[in-house]
Amino acid sequence: MNEAETRAELIDPALKEAGWGVVEGSRVRREVITLGRLQGAGKRAKQDIADYVLFYKGQKLAVIEAKRCDLPDTEGVGQAKKYAEKLQTRFTYSTNGIGIYQIDMQSGAECYVERYPTPDELWHQTFVEANEWRDRFGHVPFEDKGGQWQARYYQHNAINKTLESIANGNDRILLTLATGTGKTFIAFQLAWKLFHSRWNLSREPSRRPRILFLADRNILADQAYNSFSAFPEDALIRIDPKTIRKKGRVPKNGSIFFTIFQRLCHR
């Protein structure tokens, strides 16, 4: 039995029996983590591809590295740890479809398990302490624009780390990313989660938050405004001189406001 057959006949049914892809909010996905390091002349090294990534409530909870059934069940431990480190999952598994070897990346504990945990079991193993806002954020799916948007692994990590920090009550959070790494995409997904979960400074989900998106040039503020088009139209406000002249004041009847630093300082 080769690896593809092992996956189809042994691993996939075991995951389904545990509720993955069956329980609402859970799914299983094969994920390309990196395209491979550029080696020159348009060539790349081998891609990093996780055989299985277990998602629940918008979080990546575990990685599974699969090998064909005639290999040792621990054959994929090195890859499993490597992928879990990049995807920042607490748990990872190496399996040949018969034995299941579990690694807790946080505690370092390693052991065999008889079956895969259910989505709820893995959620509670990952997050030992309950948190209402973590759960509320988890119930808001990422916006993917009908499958057109897909978060890169480091974007997903940045979004979830930020949301976890917000859920824990932190008020000041700084994210720094290089040019071209998708800062607007990350900002959109954070705003999407905060808006639809009704997070606000009172920590009571009684109203939508008010979010200010600042840029240093009008063209960037315009691009961001257009990138947020999945939000309800009446939630978005572009603060510019034309709008202020037309209304005689800064518009306030929205949830997400876009402007430049200079306009904010001028006012």
Q: What is the pLDDT of residue 150?
A: 80
Residue-wise pLDDT for 52-64, tens only, equals 999 999 899 999 9
139 shares a domain with 253? yes
Going by C-alpha positions, the residue among 18, 3, 15 that lies closest to residue 75 is: 3
Q: What is the pLDDT of residue 134?
A: 93
Q: What is the pLDDT of residue 245?
A: 66
100-104: strand order across its sheet: 26-34, 48-56, 59-66, 91-95, 100-104, 110-113
Band (pLDDT 50/70/90 cuts) for residue 41 is low
Residue-wise pLDDT for 129-185, tens only, equals 989 999 999 999 889 877 777 888 999 999 999 999 999 999 899 999 998 899 999
Judge whether 205 and 136 are in contact, CB under 8 Å.
yes
| Structural domains of the chain, count | 2
Residue-wise pLDDT for 221-238, tens only, equals 999 999 999 999 999 999
What is the tally of helices (H) and strands (E) in the chain? 10, 11
173 shares a domain with 102? no
pTM, two decimals, is 0.84
Could you give the CA distance from residue 187 to residue 184 in angstroms, rounded to a whole number? 5
160 shares a domain with 231? yes
- Domain CATH number, residue 16: 3.90.1570.30
Whole domain around residue 255: which residue ranges?
A: 132-266
Q: Write down which residue in 126, 156, 182 finishes a domain.
A: 126
Going by C-alpha positions, the residue among 162, 151, 233 that lies closest to residue 191 is: 162
- Residues sharing a CB contact under 8 Å with residue 12, sequence separation 6 or more, in sequence order: none
- Domain CATH number, residue 177: 3.40.50.300
197 shares a domain with 172? yes
Q: Write down which residue in 63, 92, 126 finishes a domain.
A: 126
Q: Write down which residue in 126, 152, 167 finishes a domain.
A: 126
169 shares a domain with 87? no
246 shares a domain with 141? yes
248 shares a domain with 139? yes
Q: What is the pLDDT of residue 252?
A: 75
> What average pLDDT score do residues 207-214 get?
93
The gap from C-alpha 188 to its chain's centroid, in whole angstroms, comes to 12
> What average pLDDT score do residues 39-50 get?
70
Using DSSP's 3-state secondary structure scheme, residue 78 falls into helix
Buried/exposed 184-195: b ≥16 CB within 10 Å, e otherwise? ebbbbbbbbbbb
